[in-house]
Amino acid sequence: MSFELPKLPYSKNALEPYISEKTIEFHYGKHHQAYVTKVNNLSQGTPFENASLEEIIKKADGGVFNNGAQVWNHTFYFFQFNPDGCKEPKDELKKAIEAKFGSVEKFKEEFSNAATTLFGSGWAWLVKNEKGELEIVQTANAGNPLRDSKTPLLTCDVWEHAYYLDKQNARPKYIEDFWKIIDWKVISERYSK
């Protein structure tokens, strides 16, 4: 299957001042695009030539896994932002977060801590596990919770390329701003699916 870079549901400067237009230009226009190009090239002539990204994430290794998973991860990341979106979790998702973490505030603290302490490149995730419970997990590099049969709901990219032009070494500041552009309507829809 030939994958394509999905069109962003907002303009490149829409997340300013939290994520700059320049960061989006590189992160989406260069990094995300390069993962798309590379997974298309690397999967040719392999058992994954016609596989979905989910199949690649669950079964592939090496370059096919790295690039395929990064396509999925970045699409999932970019599509959860909306500067005019729903600012707080509501209804069923809110109840589930409170049941698991005590409060939305405590959840944010715990998730931010997971994103801050991941050493090197990777991702922090809110997931729904096989029992339907919420969990916070970290994955290194291109890792994706689908590999462990967990359903991703929310993710924070903590590769340095996600924030270095805007925040340099100040990863905690990037994570603080990350919350301001999450559209909780998107996260709720992922949870209810």
Partner 1 sequence: MAFELPKLGYDYNALEPHIDARTMEIHHSKHHGGYTTKLNNAVEGTDLEGKSIEEILKNVSSHSTAVRNNGGGYYNHNLYWQVIAPGGAKSPSGELLDAINESFGSLEKFREAFVQAALTRFGSGWAWLVLQNNKLAVSSTPNQDNPLMDVADVQGTPILGIDVWEHAYYLKYQNKRPDYVNAFWELINWDEAARRFKG
Contacts to partner 1 by CB under 8 A: 26, 30-31, 34, 66, 119-122, 140-142, 159-161, 164-165, 168-169
Residues 84, 78, 133, 53, CA torsion sign: positive
Phi-psi region of 152 (alpha: psi -120 to 50; beta: other; left: phi over 0): beta
CB of 120 to partner 1, least distance (A): 4
Nearer to partner 1, 98 or 177 (CB): 177
Query: Annotated binding residues for Mn(2+), as ranges?
Result: 27, 74, 157, 161
The phi and psi torsions of 24 (rounded to 5 degrees) equal: -65, -40
CB of 161 to partner 1, least distance (A): 5
CB of 28 to partner 1, least distance (A): 11
| Torsion angle in degrees (nearest 10) through CA of 4, 125, 112, 32 | -10
CB of 181 to partner 1, least distance (A): 21
Q: Distances from the Cα of 83 to the Cαs of 42, 158, 160, 163, 178, in angstroms? A: 35, 20, 22, 17, 11
Q: Are 74 and 171 in contact (CB under 8 A)?
A: no
Phi-psi region of 120 (alpha: psi -120 to 50; beta: other; left: phi over 0): left
Nearer to partner 1, 129 or 141 (CB): 141
Query: Annotated binding residues, as ranges?
Result: 27, 74, 157, 161
CB of 108 to partner 1, least distance (A): 24
The radius of gyration computed from the CA coordinates of the chain, to the nearest angstrom, equals 16
Nearer to partner 1, 100 or 161 (CB): 161
Nearer to partner 1, 169 or 192 (CB): 169
